[in-house]
Amino acid sequence: MKTTIFSQISIDGKLTMGAGNSSKELFSLFSSEDMEFIHLFRGKVQGIMVGKNTILTDNPFLTNRYEENKNPIRIIPTTTLDIPLDCNVLSDQGKTIIVTTEKGRDEEKIKQIRQRGKECLICGEDKVDFVELERQLEENYGITSLLVEGGGFLNWHIFNQDIVDEIILMQLPIIIGGSTNITLVDGDGYQQLSFAKKFKVVEIQPKDNYTLMRYKKVI
């Protein structure tokens, strides 16, 4: 499976204007053509993943608004299954897979999710096992391309489990700052350079409102 991180960030790598804020504020700096680029990119992949915090803060639909019937399957990992049943990804007709752990297994909540026509997978004991998740997505759902529009916490886990093949960034020419603000990758981090995940630059393309940057994993 090809896994791509796709994110809109500031020069200093921030995803929002502050902890607990929606990322949608940054989207106001994009033109309609920029937003079309984001949505059309979703039409090129089979699955799209965001974390629980994105659902709680932004309540997105995660659809492709510019091409009918080209919406990716939405995949939402949550360790403890504490996701609102009235969120958009559980309330519309689109296909959604909620992923949780043995620790977070709640049979009543799983039943309620499935009653909404959505699916629920168990991957991992106390943390989501993304390697196992990708195996199940590929074998059981035919998903071979996954787009991750995650926050710093989700991104950390998939980098740490070494499943990211490509990074695509739309870098806005602004500085936000803030020591507690969400960045592209948060989590524990690496204290030794030898453990850092290495990527090579494959494209840098200046646009009117942002710089498009693409990186590929060093094999």
Q: Please name the residue that has the structure tokens 């607990």.
A: 20
pLDDT, tens only, 149-181? 999 999 999 999 999 999 999 999 999 999 999
Q: pLDDT at residue 213 above 90?
A: yes
66 contacts 86 by C-beta, under 8 angstroms: no
CA–CA separation, 24 and 57 (whole Å): 10
Confidence of residue 186 (pLDDT cuts 50, 70, 90): very high
Whole-number pLDDT of residue 68: 84
pTM (2 decimals)? Answer: 0.94
150's tokens: 């995650």
Q: Phi/psi at 21 (nearest 5 deg)?
A: -85, 155
| One-letter identity of residue 78 | T
Q: Please name the residue that has the structure tokens 């936000």.
A: 176
Whole-number pLDDT of residue 168: 98
pLDDT, tens only, 64-92? 989 988 999 999 999 999 999 999 999 99
